[in-house]
Amino acid sequence: MNKDELDRIKEIGIAHLLAISGTHIAIIITIICYTLNRLKCPLFLIKIILIILLPIYCMYTNMSASAVRAILMSLIIIILPKYIIKHSMNVLAFLFICLTILTPSLIYHIGFQLSFLITFSILFASPLLKNLGVFKSLCAITWIAQLSSFILSCIHFHQIQWIGLLSNIFFVPFYSFILFPFVIFLTFIIHLPFKPFIITNLYNLLIIFHDKMVELFDKLNFFKWYIPTLNNLQIAIITIIAFLSLVLFVHKCYKLMSITLITLYVVSTMLPQVHAYQLTMLDVGQGDSLLFETQYHESLLIDTGGNFNSKQKVANHNISRYHILPTLKRHNVKELDYVIITHPHLDHMGELSYLIKQLKIKSIIINANSFKMKELNLLKENCIKKGIKLIDFKNKSQFFMNKAKLNLLDATIPNSNNLNEQSIIILIQYNSYKILLMGDATNHNEEKLIHKYHLSDVNILKIGHHGSRTSTSNSLLQSIRPKIALISVGKKNKYGLPNRQIIDRLRYNNIKVFQTNVNGEVNILFKDQIEIKSQYH
């Protein structure tokens, strides 16, 4: 599977089926036991074979947390007499204690947390599950798994895959009883001296059917349930409510459970939201990307960052996957009202094509003159497909986002072949605050900016060209007198940025500096006073 297919599988909540879990181990044990029983093997021999094969299989899975948990539980049940292990919960607790003592760092492993928490919840609900039929039991286990993993999804992923309640009802039986056993069978068949075309063709049909069903559920997943960043108190409250919902479900108190679920939604989604205008400088490595949000949830993304896999010469979109999209989820941003591309360099717009596919974007603003014709036509095609307005910044030099006024300043250098000198410069004004975002503008742009717009008393300056010495002249700093400087730059980048001379110049002017290579992601709240939070320092 490529990364796009894996992303789609994650979005519909069935990624756990691709991980080695208790279900896979149970199927393997069932196949081995059934085969050996048919061969009239004695029970002690079957146990010995399982004791040998299961650890080998565990090593084959690269000792994944869920596989270790499932295999160790199985081995304990196989080895120890039944009167010693009457309750599976005791086995689970014993394993948890042993593993955390042997490897304390496992406690921070997401797979380890999910594996034990979901298994604990299913065992906790076992009295209810015993009295249910196959289909009802499957639905109940799916619901229990979703509920028990809720808090971990909030903390680690900032998203709840609600569609998993539906998709798992189909995919769990499909994987467990059809696809996974078939793959095991195929693994042995392909080693035969002749090619079993019927079997391989049947497998291909199963994969095609699987992909079509993934596509169907992905289309049904129209509502994105994002969870903003939670504080410790909110995490504690949500954990208590989620466990209470599980208890009520086990005791069949469905009306009370409905009330707790509504409370869970309100506490997890609505209460943590920040009701203030804010600017976030994303940590996208050696590139630029900033997110501006209003109190009323309008949003603007300025540049997207971007890089290439140097070995494969293709875009890997890891910046979107691991930085931009997670930040948008943490901020509960489900769509972008505007995306501004300051200029068409890869480190400023490399992720745009991917974000167009992944997000609803209303408008994209560019400097059309800075684009090559081929790039511009491709962008136009993508925008038409997604119903996005493509606007040249000269046709929208000023607009409002609620109470914030945005001016797109034209300090470009005509006929310059340097794309940095074609950068859109953005001035955001909200109440008494002024934010100036320079893109990759050079000293030539700065000189034109000073004489054309006569700016003064800027609160926040996003430094041009990642702190290069070709930008941030002393005359600019003297003219606008910023209090805070933001520099988006990669750790240990090959260009040696930010330039030492620029940092010294900023400090000489008593400007507080925040750098992504030092501070990580930087979030600025505009309240009665400016509040600044950074990821690392």
Q: What is the domain partition of the chain in residue ranges? A: 3-119+168-221, 277-534
Average pLDDT in the 171-198 region? 81
Q: What is the dihedral of CA 196, 199, 205, 210, to 10 degrees?
A: -130
- Most confident range, picked from 68-77, 225-234, 477-486: 477-486
Q: How far apart are CA 113 and CA 266, in angstroms?
A: 25
- The yes-or-no verdict on residue 315 having pLDDT over 90 is no
For residues 320, 325, 330, 333, the Cα torsion angle rounded to the nearest 10 degrees is 140
Q: Do 514 and 282 meet the contact criterion of CB atoms below 8 Å apart?
A: no
Q: In this predicted structure, what is the pLDDT of residue 74?
A: 87
Secondary-structure breakdown of the chain: helix, strand, coil percentages, each rounded to the nearest 5: 55, 15, 30
Mean pLDDT along residues 299-321: 75
Could you tell me the sign of the dihedral formed by the alpha carbons of 456, 457, 460, 463, in that order? positive
Q: What is the pLDDT of residue 316?
A: 63
Torsion-angle region of 279 (φ positive above 0: left; ψ -120 to 50: alpha; else: beta): beta
**Averaged pLDDT for residues 356-379:** 95
Confidence class for position 312, pLDDT limits 50, 70, 90: very low
What pLDDT band is residue 85 in, cutting at 50, 70 and 90? low
Judged against a pLDDT cut of 70, whether residue 314 lies above it is answered with no
Return the higher-pLDDT residue of 447 and 62.
447
Looking at residue 313, what is its pLDDT? 47
> What pLDDT is attached to residue 200?
82
Question: What is the rounded average pLDDT of the residues 102-114?
Answer: 89
Task: Of 17, 25, 21, give the one whose Cα is nearest residue 1.
Answer: 17
- Summarised one tens digit per residue, pLDDT across range 448-461 is 999 999 999 999 99
**% of the chain exceeding 70 in pLDDT:** 97
**pLDDT at residue number 273:** 81
Closest CA to 420 of 380, 465, 376, 461: 465
What confidence score (pLDDT) does residue 537 get? Answer: 72
Instruction: Say whether pLDDT at 324 is over 50.
Output: yes
In the predicted structure, residue 154 carries a pLDDT above the cut 50: yes
- Alpha carbons within 13 angstroms on the beta-carbon side of residue 100 total 12
Long-range contacts of 258-265 (CB under 8 A, 24+ apart): 264/150, 264/238
pTM: 0.85
Distances (CA, A) of 359 to 223, 328, 339, 386: 12, 10, 11, 10
Nearest to 436 by CA among 466, 406, 412: 406
Mean pLDDT of 378-404: 96
Q: What is the mean pLDDT of residues 253-280?
A: 91
In the predicted structure, residue 422 carries a pLDDT above the cut 80: yes
Tell me: pLDDT of 311 over 50: no
pLDDT higher than 80, residue 373: yes
Q: Residue 369 pLDDT > 90, yes or no?
A: yes
Closest CA to 257 of 270, 246, 269, 267: 246
Mean pLDDT of 132-154: 89
* Average pLDDT of the residues of the chain: 90
Q: Is the pLDDT of residue 309 over 70?
A: no
How far apart, in whole angstroms, are the C-alpha atoms of residue 342 and residue 408?
A: 10
Distance CA 76, CA 67 (A): 14
Q: Decide which of 191 and 369 is more confident.
A: 369
Cβ(106)–Cβ(155) below 8 Å = no
Q: In this predicted structure, what is the pLDDT of residue 15? A: 83
Query: In this model, does residue 84 exceed pLDDT 80?
Result: no
* Structure confidence at residue 80 as a pLDDT band (50, 70, 90): confident
Distance CA 305, CA 287 (A): 5
Containing 164, the helix (H) or strand (E) segment is helix 164-173
Q: Write out pLDDT tens, residues 208-224.
A: 999 999 999 998 888 88
Q: How confident is the model at residue 86 (pLDDT cuts 50, 70, 90)?
A: low
Instruction: Return the minimum-mean-pLDDT range out of 72-76, 165-169, 271-275, 365-369.
Output: 271-275
Which tokens sit at 272? 């943590």
Which residue, among 172, 70, 54, has the nearest Cα to 114 in the 3D structure?
A: 70
The pLDDT of residue 343 is: 97
Q: Which CATH class is domain 277-534?
A: alpha beta
